[in-house]
C-alpha cells in the first residue's frame, strides 16, 4: 500500500544533541512538508520541498535542517539550536505543490527533550 512512513514513533533527545527524523513516501509525490504540532496551536510549517534537490524554509525553520536527495525521502534534523523541540512532528506529501491538492500525512514522530 502507498503511504508515508515516519520513524521513529517516539524519540528522546538530550540537551545539546542533534536528532534526525525519517520520512519516506512511496506515493510518487513531488512535494513534501514538515509540520510541528503543539497543544493548542495549529500545525506550523517548518520546511517544504516542491521537488527533489530543492527545499524552502517555512515559518519556524530556525534550529531545523532538511535534505531532499531522493524523491522518496525528506529527513528532518532537529539541531541543538532548537531550544524548545518537544512536539509532535508530522511529515506530509502531495502530488505537486498545487495548493488544490490535499495532504497525505505520515503517522508522526513524538519528540521529547529529556
Partner 1 sequence: QKEVEQNSGPLSVPEGAIASLNCTYSDRGSQSFFWYRQYSGKSPELIMFIYSNGDKEDGRFTAQLNKASQYVSLLIRDSQPSDSATYLCAAPLNSGGYQKVTFGIGTKLQVIP
Binding site residues, partner 1, CB under 8 A: 40-43, 45, 58, 90, 99-100, 102-108
The minimum distance between CB 40 and partner 1, in angstroms, equals 7
Minimum CB distance to partner 1 smaller for 16 or for 40: 40
| CA–CA dist 27, 94 (Å, integer) | 8
The minimum distance between CB 105 and partner 1, in angstroms, equals 4
Minimum CB distance to partner 1 smaller for 77 or for 104: 104
Minimum CB distance to partner 1 smaller for 16 or for 42: 42
CB-based contacts of 104, cutoff 8 Å, min separation 6: 3, 4, 25, 27, 29, 92, 93, 94
Q: 7 with 22: CB under 8 angstroms? A: yes
Minimum CB distance to partner 1 smaller for 59 or for 69: 59
101 grid coordinates: 491538492
The minimum distance between CB 80 and partner 1, in angstroms, equals 26
The minimum distance between CB 37 and partner 1, in angstroms, equals 9
Cα dist. 73→9, 38, 70 in Å? Answer: 17, 24, 5
- Cβ neighbours of 10 (radius 10 Å): 10
Amino acid at each position: 500500500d502507498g503511504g508515508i512512513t515516519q520513524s521513529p514513533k517516539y524519540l528522546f533527545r538530550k540537551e545539546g544533541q542533534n536528532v534526525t527524523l525519517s520520512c519516506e513516501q512511496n506515493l510518487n509525490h513531488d512535494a513534501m512538508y514538515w509540520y510541528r504540532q503543539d497543544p493548542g496551536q495549529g500545525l506550523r510549517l517548518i520546511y517544504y520541498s516542491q521537488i527533489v534537490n530543492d527545499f524552502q524554509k517555512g515559518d519556524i525553520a530556525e534550529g531545523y535542517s532538511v535534505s531532499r536527495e531522493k524523491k522518496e525521502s525528506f529527513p528532518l534534523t532537529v539541531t541543538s539550536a532548537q531550544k524548545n523541540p518537544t512536539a509532535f512532528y508530522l511529515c506530509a506529501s502531495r502530488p505537486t505543490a498545487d495548493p488544490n491538492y490535499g495532504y497525505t500525512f505520515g503517522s508522526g514522530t513524538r519528540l521529547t527533550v529529556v
